[in-house]
Amino acid sequence: MLRIVSACSLLQRFELPPADDPGWTPVMRERLTGERDRWMQQLDDATVWLLDNAMTYAGSWPSAQIIRFAVDYAGHARAVVLSEREEATKVELLLELTMPVQRQFFGWSWSRARHAVADRRAFAETIARISGEPSAT
């Protein structure tokens, strides 16, 4: 999840400048394009690993709800990467999926408890958005 958050943050921060921007040479534009492609590949690699290994890392956890949360996250994150959405939309959706899940699995215990309901709701709303379902709000 850290790789996903990191790559998404870099993609948001380092956008390609407009083609007519005189401050960018073709070489620098090509280099930044290469970096952005590499960051997108990191998203691809990370979501493949999450999905392929979901039952390895989640299968022994004590609660079916926690296992389902992890598996749902892995499947939906992978679906976002595979989708035909615009790159910026993919990045936005991946962050919206990842942040509540990351807090629930890796946050401080007081933070997990405090945000459990909101994190589950945010996750469900993002899944509904990915699926094209109308928002419950």
Here the tokens at position 37 are 């492609």
Instruction: Provide the residue range defining the domain that includes 43.
Output: 2-131
**28 belongs to a structural domain:** yes
pTM: 0.83
**19 belongs to a structural domain:** yes
Q: What is the pLDDT of residues 89-132, one digit of tens each?
A: 999 999 999 998 888 777 667 666 677 788 889 989 999 999 88
**89 belongs to a structural domain:** yes
93 three-state secondary structure: helix
Please classify residue 49 by burial: count the beta carbons closer than 10 Å to its beta carbon, then call 0-12 exposed, 13-18 middle and 19+ buried.
middle
What is the DSSP secondary-structure string of 24-71? --HHHHHHHHHHHHHHHHHHHHHHHHHHHTHHHHHTTSS-HHHHHHHH
The pLDDT of 28-42, averaged and rounded, is 95
**137 belongs to a structural domain:** no
The pLDDT of 45-52, averaged and rounded, is 97
The per-residue pLDDT for 102 is: 84
When divided into structural domains, the chain yields a total of: 1
